[in-house]
Amino acid sequence: MIIGVPKEIKNNEYRVAITPDGVKELCARGNKVYIENNAGLGSGFSNAEYEDMGAEILYSPKELFEKSEIIYKVKELFPEEFDYLKEGQIIFTYIHSNAFREQTDALLEKKVVGIAYEDITDKNNEFPLLKPMSEIAGKGGFLMAVQCVQKINGGNGLMLADVCGVKKAEIVVIGAGNSGLGAAELAASLGNKVTVMDINTVKLERAKEVLPKGVEFLYSNKKNIEDCIKKSDVLINCILWPKHRTDHLITRDMLKLMKPNSLIVDVSCDEGGAIETCRSTSHDNPVYSEGGIIHYCVDNIPSAFSQTATTSLCNATLPYLIEIASKGVRKALCENEHLRRGLTCYDGVLTLEETGLKQKRPYSSPEEVLNIV
Ligand SMILES: NC(=O)c1ccc[n+]([C@@H]2O[C@H](COP(=O)([O-])OP(=O)(O)OC[C@H]3O[C@@H](n4cnc5c(N)ncnc54)[C@H](O)[C@@H]3O)[C@@H](O)[C@H]2O)c1
């Protein structure tokens, strides 16, 4: 099939959907790959590296969309890209249709096949295309904390590493999922005092198996949270907060319990979610102070680690793209129930219940639109 990889246009987005190695895999299977001029530069990959692996560089995004049967991307589509879409085209990217209403309109009007990374599942009912970015967000969130607590950056002047004769810094990680494990692994490996909290005891047991000795594991309840935030120098929120919840785990009032000028890194970045005082920030202006506590709430942490993130994302998404390109999209969707879970829209019909309910739109199941009985 013909696959087009556009340059990402979101502010501060340096990732790209494919590595040069990925191009080689696609071309070896008889596919044609177009890469937009300099699409990989932000991740350290030049046009020449893609060309060496068999890709052709195109200089206009319009031409790339026109010539491609599959658009392989990282982020959602932006209004300037909507006009380029054509009927039957396959859009394979993080779509987040429930968050971007205008994009959902465009995908339905243009009758494209939208397959969203974030909704594809695996045999454990987990989300294999969210996992790699969560791990990087958790690890990256800790690395950002290393900078934010430095005096020269407005912090309390701590080094988040073991120094002989000095009390260890206290890092509290809430949520023992993909991002929480990433943050805790790095924090513990540098010799900090790390506490990991979760409400799921199976997750805590799994975390205990993989994290270094010395990490403390605590059930996440109100009392334990209060005790932990009193002692923490850095609190890293890695919870997947349910969209319907309107309460908070850490309220504005609870910030008074924390050490003055200590740090919250909100990897989850749900505005008004688990952390009441969280509002999304960008890499240009990543922190703000509220209630005497520094907040770091960047919602695309992986972009700061673009080469690593691009490679990890491509490793995870490419097998699905190869399946789509080899079988054709309909056959791939019919035969692979996990890929089918990612189907957002097909031939002008919304197929994601969550978006249908949130945006009050009609929707059908993927099985209905594909006539799978
Ligand atoms: N900022 C970024 O750039 C970025 C990048 C990737 C992911 N994320 C976000 O990070 C968040 C976490 O992603 P993940 O893949 O690690 O999720 P995950 O599902 O792997 O882990 C979430 C964990 O939170 C736990 N949890 C739920 N309620 C809790 C509570 N009250 N107390 C303690 N633990 C609780 C769950 O049991 C689970 O173990 C998501 O919101 C995701 O969108 C942010």
Over the stretch 3-47, which tens digit does the pLDDT of each residue have? 999 999 998 899 999 999 999 999 999 999 999 999 999 999 999
Residue 266 lies in a domain: yes
190, 266: one domain: yes
Residue 156 lies in a domain: yes
CA 137 to ligand 1: nearest atom: 5
The fraction of the chain above a pLDDT of 70, given in percent, is: 100
Query: Which tens digit of pLDDT belongs to each residue from 213-222?
Result: 999 999 999 9
Total of domains in the chain: 2
Residue 128 lies in a domain: no
b/e burial code for range 32-48 (CB count within 10 A of at least 16 → b): bbbbbeebbebbebebe
Using the predicted structure, report yes or no on whether residue 373 has a pLDDT greater than 80: no
Nearest residue (by CA) to ligand 1, atom 6, is 134
365, 237: one domain: no
Compute the average pLDDT of residues 355-365: 94
What is the pLDDT, as a whole number, of residue 80?
A: 96
Distance between CA atoms of residues 65 and 6, nearest Å: 8
Residue 127 lies in a domain: no
CA 303 to ligand 1: nearest atom: 3
310, 291: one domain: no
Which domain does 289 fall in, by range?
133-299
Query: Which tens digit of pLDDT belongs to each residue from 56-89?
Result: 999 999 999 999 999 999 999 999 999 999 999 9
b/e burial code for range 147-159 (CB count within 10 A of at least 16 → b): ebbeeeeebbebe
Catalytic residue among 21, 96, 105, 338: 96
Residue 38 lies in a domain: yes
Query: What is the 48 CA–ligand 1 centroid distance (Å)?
Result: 38
Burial class (CB in 10 A: 0-12, 13-18, 19+), 144: buried
Query: Which tens digit of pLDDT belongs to each residue from 155-196?
Result: 999 999 999 999 999 999 999 999 999 999 999 999 999 999
Residue 283 annotated in active site = no
What is the pLDDT, as a whole number, of residue 302?
A: 95
Nearest residue (by CA) to ligand 1, atom 33, is 198
Residue 270 annotated in active site = yes
Counting DSSP H helices and E strands in the chain, the numbers are 14, 15
Query: Which tens digit of pLDDT belongs to each residue from 300-337?
Result: 899 999 999 999 999 999 999 999 999 999 999 999 99
Pocket test for ligand 1, best of 142, 185, 198 (most atoms within 8 A of CB): 198
Query: What is the 146 CA–ligand 1 centroid distance (Å)?
Result: 21
CATH number (domain holding residue 188): 3.40.50.720
Helix residue ranges per DSSP H, the chain: 20-28, 47-52, 61-67, 79-82, 101-109, 131-148, 178-189, 201-210, 222-231, 306-327, 329-335, 337-340, 353-359, 366-369
Q: What is the pTM of this model?
A: 0.92
184, 88: one domain: no
Terminal CA-to-CA distance of the chain, rounded, Å?
Answer: 28
